[in-house]
Amino acid sequence: MTRPPTALRSRLPELAHTVHLAACSISPRSLDLDNALATMLDDLARPGFWTACEEKVLQARQRFAALIGADVDQIAVVPNVRSAAHQAISGRRWRWKRTLLSSTAEFPGVAHAWLAAQQRGARVHWCGTDTGEVTTADYLHGITSRTALVSVPAVTYRDGIRLDVARIAEAAHAAGANVFVDDYQAAGVLPVNVDAMGCDYLAGGTGKYLLGLPGMAFLYVRHPCRQPASTLTGWLGRVHPSTISPDFPPHASRLGTGTPAAAAAYAAVAGMSLIADLDLDAVRQQTQRLLTHATDRLEQMGETVRVPAEPDERGAHLALMEPHAENLGTWLGRRGITVAPRGNVVRIAVHAYSTVDDINALCEAIGTYRTRFTPRAHAGDCDDQS
């Protein structure tokens, strides 16, 4: 039986006196996270810690696989999404077909993995505008017969634009290219299914909507036994971890490396257990209603908001334009409202635990901020004098 979205709030006691609108950046603290970390410390004090930790890592892989409609053997554990990107292409040879199609809306960490591939012969082509906006059509126009890999964020990290991965994957496959999806801004808050998307690789981490901690990420590989060995390898990517052996397992663990972050593994299982209790279609409807409400209110207040007009094209956050985003973020944080500033936007992210009252509290606080600080605010202005 699925848990009604708002019931999740009872697992997040901090929300009784704070507002968390920042899951696009960091998960809120839950009772389950506290319990998981306490269990980890208990396990640490007992013999057999590594066995318990290995079990948690396996459970984390199983839960992520279930969440995206994959098999556990298709999931590798990596420390972060950037490493997942590296692992997806590390063994690849770039010959005539050597274009890697990415976009200006790519998360910079992933973009750097692609840039590094240029040293090994890939040619990166960036679609989208110079200011980091991209559409599904930009991707469709960018695919050519020389495209070897298309990298698509399921939802863009800055503006919360949800791209039509299935359409892009169809076009990519028709051109003989593979598809890598950065799912970090979708996993845990949007329904995701790798078969419906048609992707060849999908990466997601545990520190945002999955309600865990940073320090662990997953790489889904559609055909792990066809995946060439990576140059970044380690004992946990081998058939016999305890020997110096050249053999790679036929499943996605072949892309694993070294000892995982234990705390992140315990936290990942706790967070994904909470997500597993949710009906993500219902969560999606709820988050869309909240984003619409937030957009309407903020625009009525004269704010500029970047959010796709079509609910189908939205992720779970919107971008409020604010040249001094850190200042506003800090000021709100001091009033118990956590948002996610980045560059010249303040990102406002909603999840299953979010309510209309959260959005109203945010809008009222922003209204107060505007009466106290002019748009010319500069660093330090967040020190409220009143």
Ligand X SMILES: Cc1ncc(COP(=O)(O)O)c(C=O)c1O
Residues that bind ligand X (CB under 6 A): 80-82, 107, 109-110, 153, 157, 182, 184-185, 205, 217
Which is closer to ligand X, CB of 184 or CB of 353? Answer: 184
Q: How far is the CB of 26 from ligand X (least distance, A)?
A: 9
Give min distance, CB of 172 to ligand X, in A.
19
Residue whose CB is less far from ligand X, 11 or 214:
214
Q: Single out the residue of 154, 157, 189 nearest to residue 353, CA to CA.
A: 189
Q: For the CB of residue 306, give the shortest distance to ligand X in the complex, in Å.
A: 15
Nearer Cβ to ligand X, position 143 or 217? Answer: 217
Q: Between 8 and 113, whose beta carbon lies closer to ligand X?
A: 113
- The distance of closest approach from Cβ of residue 373 to ligand X in the complex, given in angstroms and rounded to an integer, is 28
Select 25 or 327, whichever has its Cβ closest to ligand X.
25
Question: CB neighbours of 315 closer than 8 A, spacing ≥ 6?
Answer: 24, 154, 155, 156, 160, 161, 162, 185, 186, 189, 190
Shorter beta-carbon distance to ligand X: residue 158 or 254: 158
Half-sphere exposure of 151 (CA within 13 A, CB side): 33
CA atoms of 248 and 47, how far apart (whole Å): 29
* Least Cβ distance, residue 189 to ligand X (angstroms): 12
Gap between the Cα atoms of 132 and 318, Å rounded: 15
CB nearer ligand X, residue 43 or residue 200:
200
Smallest gap from Cβ 164 to ligand X, in A, equals 17
Query: Would you call 243 exposed, middle or buried from its count of C-beta atoms within 10 A (0-12, 13-18, 19+)?
Result: exposed
CB of 10 to ligand X, least distance (A): 28
- E-only strand ranges, the chain: 19-20, 75-78, 99-103, 123-127, 147-153, 178-182, 201-205, 217-221, 305-306, 317-321, 337-338, 340-342, 345-349
Burial per residue of 107-142, b for 16 or more beta-carbon CB atoms within 10 angstroms, e otherwise? beebbebbebbeeeebebbbbbeeeebbbbebbbeb
Strand-pair partners of 347: 319, 340
Partner residues linked to 100 by β-bridges:
124, 149
DSSP state of 200: S
CB of 153 to ligand X, least distance (A): 5
Whole-angstrom Cα Rg for the chain: 21
Cβ proximity to ligand X: between 185 and 253 the closer is 185
